[in-house]
Amino acid sequence: MQLSVRELAKRYKTGDGVGGINIEIEKGELVTLLGPSGCGKTTVLRSIGGFLEPDSGDILIEGKSVIGLPPEKRPTSMVFQSYNLWSHMSVYDNLAFGLKIRKMPKAEIRGAVADALKLVRLSGFEKKYPAELSGGQQQRVALARSLLLNPAVLLLDEPFSALDAKLRHEMREELREIQTKTGLTMVFVTHDQEEALSLSDRIIVMNHGRIEQIAQPHQIYDEPASLYVAGFIGKMNFLEGVAEEGGIRIGSLVLPNGKELRGRVTAAIRPEDVQLSANHGTEGVLKGRVKQIMVLGHYAEVTVELAGYGIIRAFQSKEAMQRLQAGQEVGVSISKLTGFPVEEAKAN
Q: What is the band of 230 on the pLDDT scale with cuts at 50, 70, 90?
A: very high
Q: What is the pTM of this model?
A: 0.88
Note the pLDDT tens digit of each residue in 38-90: 899 999 999 999 999 999 999 999 999 999 999 989 999 998 877 788 889 99
pLDDT, residue 347, reads 54
Domain boundary among 209, 227, 245: 227
Note the pLDDT tens digit of each residue in 260-294: 889 999 999 999 999 998 876 677 789 999 999 99
How many CA atoms lie less than 13 Å away from 286 in the CB half-sphere? 27
Residues 188, 303: Cα–Cα separation, whole Å = 35
Do 98 and 240 belong to one domain? no
Tell me which residue of 265, 314, 254 sits closest to 289, measured CA to CA.
Answer: 314
Residue 348 has pLDDT above 70, yes or no: no
CATH number, domain containing residue 206: 3.40.50.300
Do 34 and 73 belong to one domain? yes
Domain boundary among 177, 203, 227: 227
Residue 181 has pLDDT above 90, yes or no: no
Residue 266, classified by CB atoms within 10 Å of its CB into exposed (0-12), middle (13-18) or buried (19+), is buried
Residues 168, 159: Cα–Cα separation, whole Å = 9
Range of the domain at 49: 3-227
DSSP 281: T
Do 53 and 200 belong to one domain? yes
DSSP 71: G
pLDDT, residue 83, reads 73
Residues 157, 270: Cα–Cα separation, whole Å = 30
Cα torsion 87, 89, 91, 93 to 10°: value is -150
Note the pLDDT tens digit of each residue in 90-136: 999 999 988 888 888 899 999 999 999 988 888 989 899 999 998 88
Residues 31, 258: Cα–Cα separation, whole Å = 29
pLDDT, residue 94, reads 92
3-class SS at 312? strand
3-class SS at 104? coil
Residue 127, classified by CB atoms within 10 Å of its CB into exposed (0-12), middle (13-18) or buried (19+), is exposed
Do 221 and 272 belong to one domain? no
Least confident of 20-24, 135-139, 199-203: 135-139
pLDDT, residue 121, reads 87
φ and ψ at 89, to 5 degrees?
A: -110, 145
Residues 178, 266: Cα–Cα separation, whole Å = 42
Domain boundary among 227, 248, 283: 227
Do 19 and 44 belong to one domain? yes
